[in-house]
Amino acid sequence: MLGRRLFSFARPLTRNYASKWPRPKPGTSERPPYRAPDPLINNSSVTVTPLLDEDLTFIHRPPPTAPSPISYTTNPVSPLLRPPLPSNSTALPPLLRPSASKSAPPRVTAEQITEIRRLRSLDPVKWTRGQLAKKFHCTQRFVALVAATKKTTRAKLIQRRDAEHEANRVKWSEKRSLVVAISQKRRQYW
């Protein structure tokens, strides 16, 4: 009984789409399939040679990259085949960075290095690395390498700097202090 119910609901097999065959008759609205013209015969540079003995036709088309008959090894048409020009006659491309066109700063002389060391040892608070680098047109890293402060002096300078920072931290609001504390705690867990 169950099988009869399933069979009673089934529909008859019918096609709900247009079939490919039979083709429409000529003169109807459907276009015929496209047939491209033969590129060998319809080309102006083709050479057609009929072979009578074997009833064949030999068609030769030169490749599009073939050199022109005017091109010689002494005077090639393609710029890729030309010999390279001398380096002084060709223009160079523009520089990628504007800083690349800057010339290197002049080297620091031995007298200047002794002056840097003297000023740094005389008053490290006044003559900081930045001040000396500006005066002698060099980098702060160079000043640190040439005239490093003594460990005892460096410890005093760090204590002084930390005291200044603490004085500034006292002026912070509660919210700012909380935000800094949270960021320091977060940095511990990295």
Tokens linked to 28: 């109807």
pLDDT digit string (tens) for 122-139? 998 899 999 999 999 999
Task: Give the DSSP per-residue string, 73-113.
Answer: SSS-SSTTSSPPPPTTTSPPPPPSSGGGGSPPPPPPPHHHH
Low-confidence stretches of the chain (pLDDT < 70) are 1-32, 41, 65-90
Q: What is the pTM of this model?
A: 0.41
pLDDT at 38: 74
Cis amide bond preceding 33, omega within 30: no
